[in-house]
Amino acid sequence: MARPATQPTTLPTVHVRRADSRFVTSTSGLESRHCFSFGPHYDPNNVGHGRLMVSNDEVVSAGSGFDDHPHADAEIVTWVLSGSLVHEDSAGHRGVIYPGLAQRMSAGRGIVHAERNDAFRLEPGRPVEPVHFVQMWLRPDASGTTPSYMQREIDRAGLPHGWVPVASGHDPDAAVTLGVRGATLWVGVLEPGATRMLPTGRYVHLYLARGTVELETVGRLAAGDSVRIVGDAALRVTGRDLAELLVWELAG
């Protein structure tokens, strides 16, 4: 569970970025919405938040996806909201990612991987549908490490009852480990009327994956909105309809 929120020692800064302000990449079979500068979309004032470099909300049609492409020196976490995604990489790792499965790939000194929405071809009976997921990249503590991969199921039934540590560089309860000691990804579900305190840290990034909430000092947030907090804030978030939230707590 999330560590108890504390009262802020300095006045934090809170910056809201609405869903309709994000960069969008749209191709045949793919729509990607970027919280930060990505690919050809560049804004020097929007290149990340703490160690978080990328937060992409992706919808990939059945039979489509990302063919082999390289990565290096990035901790990549994927959280599937609906549908399924097949991962394959040059280190021999392969897996099907679906809701409730935490997945992390450490690119290290270099790895090539592919991600495709074609699990229905590998597993007869799996629905043929779009996959909707959020993929997040962080700068690792050390460069040039050996590439690695990890996936593990979590108990989705616990998401409405508190923040669940999905990936972390220091929390022993997290589903998967990270090569960023000061980072933890918390995921939670808020039912209508439910209230919870956000995790606190030097940097906090809240992404509302679906639903509607009210955030203290900010007001209404809708699906696709994000909030960047600098400073040890203690903010209350309340569900207005069923909502799923992804919150990065970052030491730097």
pLDDT at 3: 52
Q: Which of 9-13, 133-137, 172-176, 242-246 has the lowest mean pLDDT?
A: 9-13
Place 8 in a pLDDT band, splitting at 50, 70 and 90.
very low
The DSSP annotation for 99-124 comes to TTEEEEEE-TT-EEEEEES-HHHHST
Q: Are 183 and 137 in contact (CB under 8 A)?
A: no
Number of alpha helices (DSSP H) and beta strands (DSSP E) in the chain: 1, 20
Place 109 in a pLDDT band, splitting at 50, 70 and 90.
very high
| 13-250 belongs to CATH 2.60.120.10 | yes
Calculate mean pLDDT across residues 156-166. Answer: 95
The string of pLDDT tens digits covering residues 189-217 is 999 999 999 999 999 999 999 999 999 99
The string of pLDDT tens digits covering residues 28-54 is 999 999 999 999 999 999 999 999 999
Mean pLDDT rounded to a whole number for the chain = 94
